[in-house]
Amino acid sequence: MRRLHLLELEDQSWFLVVVRDLATDYLQFIQTTFRLDRAMSPLVRRVMEATGERRIIDLCSGGSGPLTGLVNDLAAAGLDVQATLTDLFPNIPAFAAIAAESGGRIQFEREPVDARAVPARLTGLRTIFNGFHHFRPEDARAVLHAAAAARQPVAIFEVSERSMRSLPVLLTPLFVWIATPFMRPFTWRRLFWTYIVPLVPFTCLWDGIVSQLRAYTVDELRAMTAGASPMHWEIGQLPIAKGRGRLTYLVGCPA
């Protein structure tokens, strides 16, 4: 089906910050639990070895996604990398917690960072984990062309997919209700906005459905890279969840 760029609640500046932060916490928990970093790390390692980069500038970080696991995977493979979390709507409590647990490997930006116009001082491999679908086609193209113009490598990964494999997203509220007792830190506000006033599970449901409808196909990603030179682009899909899902990826290195 054709791509639909419907409204995603977490993208809106007027949306309740507490609910946005708790929703991104849930996404962080799911990505960590299912270790999506293991599928991503070989590609990221290859890009970093090819370019000599040892710093990751993570864009659209949300609750930090799989970045912690990825940094640990790279360290285990002999690549001692530093990472910086950024977002247009930074989840400062989540960023601070991740940074404190990282042993100095992960830092964060307190001020908003637009992935289409990354400050020149933030150099390194630009990553986006499950956030590229937030951009309209012209903005998504701007993200890629900005990386090319700055001669910075880029690696983008998306679990969202416009296919029948995405139907389990309809069970998101159930998953949120089950997962919440296992999420840390354990706070009363998390319980309140999940069970008493269930805005978190239904935010995750709506945004989850919209994310699938917003997702880009491999062919659409290839079209976006046209003219973004000098870069070498690699675009494809990797199997995840024991073959029941696909992880779409786009990596680019300065030619």
Do the Cβ atoms of 72 and 81 come closer than 8 Å? no
- Supply the pLDDT for residue 242: 65
pLDDT at 99: 93
The pLDDT, as a whole number, for residue 137 is: 95
What topology does CATH give the domain 9-254?
A: Rossmann fold (3.40.50)
Is the CB of residue 207 less than 8 Å from the CB of residue 8?
A: yes
State the SS3 of 160-214: CCCCHHHHHHHHHHHHHHHHHHHCCCCCHHHHHHHHHCCHHHHHHHHHHHHHHHH
pLDDT at 232: 93
Dihedral sign computed on CA atoms, order 162, 166, 167, 171: negative
Task: Please report the pLDDT score of residue 186 as a whole number.
Answer: 87
The domain limits of the chain are: 9-254
Going residue by residue through the chain, which has 255 residues, state the pLDDT in tens, using 9 for 90 and above. 789 999 999 888 899 999 998 998 898 888 878 788 888 999 999 999 999 999 999 999 987 778 889 999 999 999 999 999 999 989 898 899 899 988 889 999 999 999 999 999 999 999 999 999 999 999 999 999 999 999 999 999 999 888 888 888 899 999 999 999 999 888 999 999 999 999 999 999 999 999 999 999 999 999 999 876 789 999 999 888 666 678 999 999 998
Would you put residue 248 in left (φ > 0), alpha (ψ -120 to 50) or beta? Answer: beta
Q: What pLDDT shows up at residue 185? A: 84
